[in-house]
Chain A
Amino acid sequence: MSSVRDRVRALLKTTGWLRTDIDTLADDADLYAAGLTSHATVTLMLSLEEAFDVEFPDSLLRRRTFSSVAALVEALSGIGVKKEAV
């Protein structure tokens, strides 16, 4: 059992989206400053949808949603993913 936060972090760690190691970043650290591009956010979104079996509505498809681990956890929680465990 791992938290949504940990699973989001694990996903960010295994892909080449960031230029900075996610382990060195706080939950509220700016992912764009760490190298996330707007192109990569679409792929990130699709990976999250696959991992959590959810769909991001259009209203969440904006830059802010993907700006930090905390923002991603919040967005996932908003579409029904429970924060604590799988």
Chain B
Amino acid sequence: MSNWIAAARAVGVIAARHADEVDRQARFPAEAVRALREAKLLGILVPAGEGGPGAGIADVVSICHVLGQHCASTAMVYAMHQIQVSCVVRHGGASPWQRAFLKRLAAEQLLLASATSEAGVGGDVRSSVCAIEEKSGRFALAKQATVISYGADSDGILVTARRTLQSPASDQVIVVVPRKDATLDALQGWDTLGMRGTCSNGYHLKAAGEMAQVIPVPYADVSAQTMLPTSHLVWSALWLGIATDAMARARAFVRGETRKKPGATLAGAVRLAEAASQLQLMKANVVASLRQYEAALGSEDRLSALPFAIAMNNLKTASSQMVVQIVGQALLVCGLAGYRNDSPFSLGRHLRDAHSAALMVNNDRILANTAQLVLALRDDPELLA
């Protein structure tokens, strides 16, 4: 077990203690995020050159899996933060501003949020209405952001926008905005079925700064090579965490019942076995996709190739469905003990959190994109390729 996993487990204990209250009150998981900051888990992706430990995506994926077993909102905040950090690490390039920002991120353990959603684009994050307004080396930006998860509690926000005032909706860039350079006027609250602690409120965001804050490559590349694969990996890992904890509760329930009636095989035990097989499939998919991403990391060509994009899309749509199925199975195993909110086997929060998976970037949108890609795909690679 790496030191980071041990640290994540310690944070998990704190996250679990507050998870029900965070869920009930739809409040930011402040205690768990403070613990993540104190354990220096927020800055682990920052390379050694910028004062970080230079951890890899596998470390982050493993931490998300751990956190997901205790408080899915905390895990999602951590996951979304690391998606933003990977974009700056991989695409900030040699830009002195970006490098200085990463140094600060490692030193102060900054928490990054994301403003990709916008009113008026019909949920398509690869289109922007707002634009970078450039004037003598500085920019201004105003965005009707329908969702900025934990925006109010973040230390910086990555914002997508059209490259210039003249650019078409699809010609986007992404800009790093320290929280102090942004004003957020609340548009919409976050009273939802699940993932309530992410506080994904809508805001009218206004920001200004230096042009050097704009990541120097097109957002299309940042999205295809980093944001999309990283998102699908870290999300799937934390959904796996939710499913894993649901299974643990179901197992504990069956064990308890079996102790009461030694010798009898309970109906729930068979269903538990079935769910264990699903959990194994889900886990195998997360790990195989992680290995695929790691193998492609060195090559821009492999990262922008179709089979890779298809695999990462499939990971998301499959995991998001499996988490709901597995929690549903666990609920059947636990019966009323799982349905209750006041039992140690309670699965209500798991089920509600799990249902967000298919909706955060709607599976139908991802499938429509995959449908285009499979049309173009020619060769099926070898089994072990």
User: A residues touching B (Cβ–Cβ < 8 Å)?
Assistant: 19-20, 32-39, 42-43, 45-46, 55-59, 61-64
Please give the distance in Å from B170's CB to the nearest CB on chain A.
Answer: 4
Take A35-B170, A55-B378, A63-B224 as given contacts and tell me if A42 and B307 are in contact as well, using a CB distance cutoff of 8 Å.
no
CA A67 to CA B228, docked complex, whole Å: 21
Across the interface, do B301 and A37 meet the contact criterion of CB distance under 8 Å?
no
The chain A residue with its CB closest to the CB of B304 is: A62
Across the interface, do A63 and B304 meet the contact criterion of CB distance under 8 Å?
yes
Across the interface, do B373 and A42 meet the contact criterion of CB distance under 8 Å?
yes
Please give the distance in Å from A72's CB to the nearest CB on chain B.
Answer: 15
> Among residues 342 to 375 in chain B, which have CB atoms less than 8 Å away from a CB atom of chain A?
369, 372-373, 375
Across the interface, do B171 and A62 meet the contact criterion of CB distance under 8 Å?
no
Number of interface residues, chain B, beta carbon within 8 A:
24
The chain A residue with its CB closest to the CB of B371 is: A42
> Among residues 188 to 240 in chain B, which have CB atoms less than 8 Å away from a CB atom of chain A?
218, 220-221, 224
> Among residues 304 to 331 in chain B, which have CB atoms less than 8 Å away from a CB atom of chain A?
304-307
Contacts of B221 in A (CB 8 A): 63
Given A35-B170, A56-B378, A57-B378, 4 more A-B residue pairs with CB atoms under 8 Å apart are A35-B168, A37-B170, A39-B369, A46-B375
- Is B163 located at the chain interface by the 8 A CB criterion? yes
20 example contacts (A-B, Cβ-Cβ < 8 A) are as follows A32-B220, A33-B168, A34-B168, A35-B170, A37-B170, A39-B372, A42-B375, A42-B376, A45-B376, A56-B376, A57-B378, A58-B305, A58-B306, A58-B378, A61-B305, A61-B306, A61-B377, A62-B301, A62-B305, A63-B304
The chain B residue with its CB closest to the CB of A64 is: B304
Question: 5 closest A-B pairs (Cβ-Cβ)?
Answer: A35-B168, A19-B168, A37-B170, A62-B304, A42-B372
Across the interface, do B171 and A38 meet the contact criterion of CB distance under 8 Å?
no
Across the interface, do A38 and B305 meet the contact criterion of CB distance under 8 Å?
no
Main secondary structure of the interface of A (DSSP, over half): loop
Across the interface, do A36 and B170 meet the contact criterion of CB distance under 8 Å?
yes
A32, A43, A56, A59 pick with most chain B CB within 10 angstroms: A32
Contacts of B369 in A (CB 8 A): 39
Across the interface, do A32 and B171 meet the contact criterion of CB distance under 8 Å?
yes
Q: How many A-B residue pairs have CB under 8 A?
A: 57
Contacts of A42 in B (CB 8 A): 372-373, 375-376
Please give the distance in Å from B217's CB to the nearest CB on chain A.
Answer: 11
The chain A residue with its CB closest to the CB of B374 is: A42
- Is B167 located at the chain interface by the 8 A CB criterion? yes
CA A39 to CA B307, docked complex, whole Å: 15
Contacts of B379 in A (CB 8 A): 57-58
Contacts of B306 in A (CB 8 A): 58, 61-62
CA A63 to CA B170, docked complex, whole Å: 14
- Is B104 located at the chain interface by the 8 A CB criterion? no
- Is B126 located at the chain interface by the 8 A CB criterion? yes
A34, A46, A61 pick with most chain B CB within 10 angstroms: A61
Across the interface, do B376 and A37 meet the contact criterion of CB distance under 8 Å?
no
CA A35 to CA B375, docked complex, whole Å: 22
CA A65 to CA B372, docked complex, whole Å: 17
Across the interface, do B304 and A33 meet the contact criterion of CB distance under 8 Å?
no
Give the residue of B168, B220, B307 whose beta carbon is less than 8 angstroms from that of A58.
Answer: B307
Contacts of B307 in A (CB 8 A): 58
Please give the distance in Å from A6's CB to the nearest CB on chain B.
Answer: 24
Contacts of B378 in A (CB 8 A): 55-58
Contacts of A38 in B (CB 8 A): 126, 170, 220, 224
Please give the distance in Å from B346's CB to the nearest CB on chain A.
Answer: 43
The chain A residue with its CB closest to the CB of B368 is: A39
Contacts of A43 in B (CB 8 A): 372
Contacts of B171 in A (CB 8 A): 32-33, 35
The chain A residue with its CB closest to the CB of B375 is: A42
Please give the distance in Å from A25's CB to the nearest CB on chain B.
Answer: 13
Contacts of A36 in B (CB 8 A): 170
CA A35 to CA B373, docked complex, whole Å: 19
CA A38 to CA B124, docked complex, whole Å: 13
Contacts of B304 in A (CB 8 A): 62-64
Across the interface, do B167 and A33 meet the contact criterion of CB distance under 8 Å?
yes
CA A64 to CA B220, docked complex, whole Å: 11
CA A69 to CA B376, docked complex, whole Å: 20
